[in-house]
Chain A
Amino acid sequence: MPRSKTPPAVSQNEADHPTSPVQHFAAHESLLLDSGASLGPWQIAYQTYGTLNADKSNAILICHALTGDQHVASDNPVTGKPGWWTSMVGPGKSYDTDRFFIICANVLGGCMGTSGPANHEAETGKAYAVDFPVVTIRDMVRAQASLVDRLGIETLFCVAGGSMGGMQVLQWAATFPDRVFAAMPLATGAKHSAQNIAFHEVGRQAVMADPDWRAGRYLAEGTRPEKGLAVARMAAHITYLSEPALHRKFGRKLQDRAAPTFSFDADFEIESYLRYQGRSFVERFDANSYLYLTRAMDYFDLADDFGGSLAAAFKGTKTRFCVASFTSDWLFPTSDSRAIVHALNAAGASVSFVEIETDKGHDAFLLDEPVLFATSRGFIDAAARARGLKEQG
């Protein structure tokens, strides 16, 4: 094996030996995937917060988005930054860790300790890379269900998440309706749109066009497609924001200079900001993981599994749903959420739906949105009463 030219990313170590708890599944406990492939042995890394009550009825599963991980409410071991959803998860928050047992697992195909392309096969010691089977949102949910089984939890009080996490929430509700008491799919859709697939394809092509990608074998060859992954992140990051928010934050302001330099330097603040986003992303994320996870989102079309009828996916469901969208989100616009709500209504499901006014775009579900906090708390409290959970756990 050639010597590594660049130091391995910390996430590479996290992939095989995460700092968070891990459940290992042996070869005879293989995951049968939608592609027809069988994955085993495999592992799933996760974090928990709070305490599981005696009858195991207070568990909330948080599903993370494309570039998230299991460190939802504690410092990230790679970046040292606070968890990605401390606005919603913590003592006294909507997902109150004083009251509920919060679980968040790294998704299948991820790079933070759950089996994915950055993992090394136990037998050969080689990284899976692009030999890892392509996974789907449903495969991710199957993996999470195996974890929930291991934890001895029959029914989750709530499954919640935004964006790709919201897709997992919908999949959970459709695949395991009896195991989901309440569901909160936020800023998401029941299928990935052509426009969203298109943006993902741009990102994947950027990664694969980087000579350091080495047909996916960069871990073995000691390179990293940092430039390609950074470009992919930059393009994607634009889709998480909104034009008004970009204008408000950056406008046409120049970066540390009084006049344009008549060069291709990052003259504008927005350019500098995007370059920073790209740089910091490659330090924590595996490029092949990015390919696999974007692909899983592209393949997601929940109605497709139910003869084209989204309402059929939720037929007879007893799950209580709370759907939320954000006015300036153009990646998963309100019309996507409305389609989910219409299907839930047609299925006679209990559903709440709020559209939240904000200029922060798709990322709003991760940010300080008081209306999201108030409505999600109202929903969770009412669901907890219906579940017979005590006010304080």
Chain B
Amino acid sequence: MTEPLNHTAAAARVDLLLVAEMIERGARVLDVGCGDGTLLDLLIKTRDVDGRGIELSQAGVNGCVTKGLSVVQGDADTDLADYPDDGFDYVILSQTLQATRRPREVIEHLLRIGRRAIVSFPNFGHWRIRSQVAFQGRMPVTKNLSYAWYDTPNIHFCTIADFVSLTDEMDATIEKAVALDRNGQPMRMTLPWAVWNLFGEQAVFMLRRGS
């Protein structure tokens, strides 16, 4: 029994809905850095997936398990190595890439464990962020990236251009890509990467291994 996408508590989070739309019904899904389980819950209710999660924070895990989600306390940087090749149809890294210690290794694991990897991240190439560094000479603090430099868990920011370049280096293929503007709306597909990189606040990529 599933619910339509727009009737859920997560309806406001466009990036989550975008991820959900990329996933076929009944798929096996691993959500790395699943937080309080909002996305997993959404995927189970709307996509009827066999969903699992990994979350670093104890409070997040406890909340997920209390909701009945299959979530383990663990660290994306160290614990993905245990998962077997092709164990999942989709492995999702939602808004977590920038908080990992070794983002490239994490993405390599995603591509190994899942037939598809879905990665969403805040774009550090957005013009507001660029202008804060360029004109104020300060580390950027925005609505979506509200931490000061000294207490941020986000240690590996990248831009959309950086991410695309990394996928080239890694022998991965971009199957889908969406950039969200500051209103959370998907930008036109026909625009060039450079425009996305300047005006996209968030990016969602679906990758598979091989070229």
Contact = CB atoms under 8 A, between A and B. Distances in A.
A371 B74 contact: no
Interface stretch (A55-63, A204-212, A290-298, A374-382): A374-382
Nearest to B64: A352
B67 A352 contact: no
A348 B65 contact: no
A37 interface: no
A320 B52 CA distance: 11
Nearest to B54: A345
B172 interface: no
Given A341-B74, A346-B83, A348-B84, A353 B68 contact: no
Contacts of A357: 58
A352 B65 contact: yes
Contacts of B69: 352, 382
30 contacts: A320-B70, A322-B65, A323-B72, A345-B72, A345-B82, A345-B83, A346-B82, A346-B83, A347-B84, A348-B84, A350-B50, A350-B52, A352-B61, A352-B69, A352-B71, A353-B71, A353-B73, A354-B58, A354-B61, A354-B62, A354-B65, A355-B58, A355-B73, A371-B62, A375-B66, A378-B65, A378-B68, A379-B68, A382-B67, A383-B68
B62 A350 contact: no
Contact of A375 (B65, B74, B82): B65
Interface residues of A, number: 28
B79 A342 contact: yes
Interface string A308-323: 0000000000001011
B73 A374 contact: no
Contacts of A381: 68
B62 A375 contact: yes
Interface residues of B, number: 21
A377 B68 CA distance: 8
Contacts of B66: 374-375, 377-378
A385 B68 CA distance: 10
B85 to A, nearest CB: 11
B62 A348 contact: no
A347 B87 CA distance: 9
A96 B49 CA distance: 28
Interface string A349-386: 01111111100000000000001001101110111010
Interface string A332-347: 0000000001110111
Contacts of A374: 62, 66
Contacts of A355: 58, 61, 73
Nearest to B71: A352
A374 B66 CA distance: 6
A355 B75 CA distance: 13
Most chain B CB inside 10 Å of its own CB: which residue of A352, A354, A374, A382: A352
Nearest to B67: A378
A343 B64 CA distance: 21
Most chain A CB inside 10 Å of its own CB: which residue of B50, B58, B61, B70: B70
Interface string B75-91: 00001001110010000
A374 B68 CA distance: 10
Interface string B39-57: 0000000000010100000
A371 B66 CA distance: 9
